[in-house]
Amino acid sequence: MSNIDYKKNYEEVVFEKITIQKEFELFKKTQEEIINKLVKDYEELKEHLKKYTAPKGNKKYYEKNKEKIIEYNKKSYHNKKLQKINQDKDEDNKSNL
């Protein structure tokens, strides 16, 4: 009887070990897929962002004309602000009629 119990226990342990190994392999494969997907997304994002970084030529132009650009941006912002105020006034006038 003791031989049967040992044999049965041994088989159960071996079965559990095999099951755990399969689960671990599945987990490992899933983790590798996730890592590969994240690396691929990172590379795609890096390439996408390269399109929006300023080349050195643009940097030189900006450094030369920095004051002009800043002044242009200020004027543009001011004009947009005035347009918004005028639109708001027009809407208020229409609603009062």
Q: What is the pLDDT of residues 12-50, one digit of tens each?
A: 999 999 999 999 999 999 999 999 999 999 999 988 887
- Do 32 and 72 belong together in one domain? no
| pLDDT band (50, 70, 90) for residue 51 | confident
Please indicate, yes or no, whether residues 47 and 62 belong to a single structural domain of this protein: no
58 and 44 in a common domain: no
The whole-number pLDDT of residue 91 equals: 80
Which two three-digit tokens encode residue 50? Answer: 């390269």
Environment class of 43 (CB within 10 Å of its CB; exposed 0-12, middle 13-18, buried 19+): exposed
The first and second tokens of residue 52, run together, are 């929006």
DSSP codes of every residue in the chain: -HHHHHHHHHHHHHHHHHHHHHHHHHHHHHHHHHHHHHHHHHHHHHHHHHTTSPPHHHHHHHHHTHHHHHHHHHHHHHHHHHHHHHHHHHHHHHHH-
Give the residue carrying structure tokens 């005028």. Answer: 86
Whether 36 and 76 map to the same domain: the answer is: no
Claim: this prediction has a pTM higher than 0.85: no
The letter for the amino acid at 50 is: K
Domain encompassing residue 47: 1-53
Looking at the 3D structure of the chain, how many domains does it have? 2
> Do both 7 and 45 map to the same domain?
yes
